[in-house]
């Protein structure tokens, strides 16, 4: 089998897998209302939860703990970069969302415009946040790891993304998260953190 044929075969298999998983999600809707409500909440408000978590952690940390605060700054940089990267890719690789495909029997749990779905920007940002954050502060990472898994799952369950959209978004986010964690960039991140802390007493 030549390379183009292998590519088409792999693409068809992934498409079939997407359709099967989306069909399973559609059949699960309304079977357990709390799950629908949780998925809807995460799909709608995940960015707000991350923002509140990072702001709360910033003020909860010791003002002199520049290392932990630097990790928060690094995480925000990683997440923002991943979201922007995913948005650029989505313009280059147009793909219709599951709820907007006429022969796919799934109704979106949330109101969403039928924009391009590949890759998932929420998944990219959430994964980059948690990878960029690393293991410190320990309390924050233990909260955001399961939250990130919930966000990824909610994008599929709510019918706004195909599973491969979410997988691709997570790969983009993880890659950017690891790049931002590189030792060569840490000095700059520390300098940026100290600059932010020194901007105003309110941020101490």
Give pLDDT tens digits for 94-106.
887 777 665 655 6
Q: What separation, in Å, do the N-terminal and C-terminal C-alpha atoms of the chain show?
A: 62
Query: What domain count does the chain have?
Result: 1
Domain residues for the domain of 88 are 3-203
pLDDT above 80: residue 78: yes
159 within 8 A of 109, measured Cβ to Cβ: yes
Q: Is the pLDDT of residue 169 over 90?
A: yes
Residue 140 belongs to domain with CATH number: 1.20.144.10
In the prediction, which pLDDT does 196 show?
Answer: 67
Percent of the chain at pLDDT > 90 equals 18
- Helix boundaries (H) for the chain: 3-28, 33-60, 66-92, 121-133, 138-157, 163-180, 183-199
| pTM confidence score | 0.80
């Amino acid at each position: 089998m030549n390379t183009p044929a292998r590519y088409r075969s792999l693409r068809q298999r992934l498409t079939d897998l997407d359709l099967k998983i989306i069909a399973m999600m559609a059949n699960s809707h309304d079977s357990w209302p709390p799950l629908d409500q949780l998925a809807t909440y995460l799909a709608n408000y995940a960015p707000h939860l991350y923002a509140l978590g990072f702001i709360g952690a910033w003020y909860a940390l010791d003002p002199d703990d520049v290392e932990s605060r630097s990790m928060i700054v690094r995480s925000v940089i990683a997440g923002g970069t991943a979201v922007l990267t995913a948005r650029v890719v989505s313009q280059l690789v147009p793909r219709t969302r599951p709820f907007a495909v006429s022969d796919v029997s799934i109704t979106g749990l949330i109101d969403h415009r039928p924009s391009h779905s590949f890759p998932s920007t929420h998944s990219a940002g959430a994964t980059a946040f948690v990878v960029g954050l690393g293991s410190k502060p320990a309390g924050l990472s233990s909260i955001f790891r399961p939250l990130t898994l919930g966000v990824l799952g909610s994008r599929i369950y709510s019918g706004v993304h195909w599973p491969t959209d979410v997988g691709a978004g997570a790969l983009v986010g993880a890659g950017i998260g690891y790049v931002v964690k590189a030792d060569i960039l840490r000095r700059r991140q520390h300098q940026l953190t100290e600059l932010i802390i020194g901007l105003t007493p309110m941020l101490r």
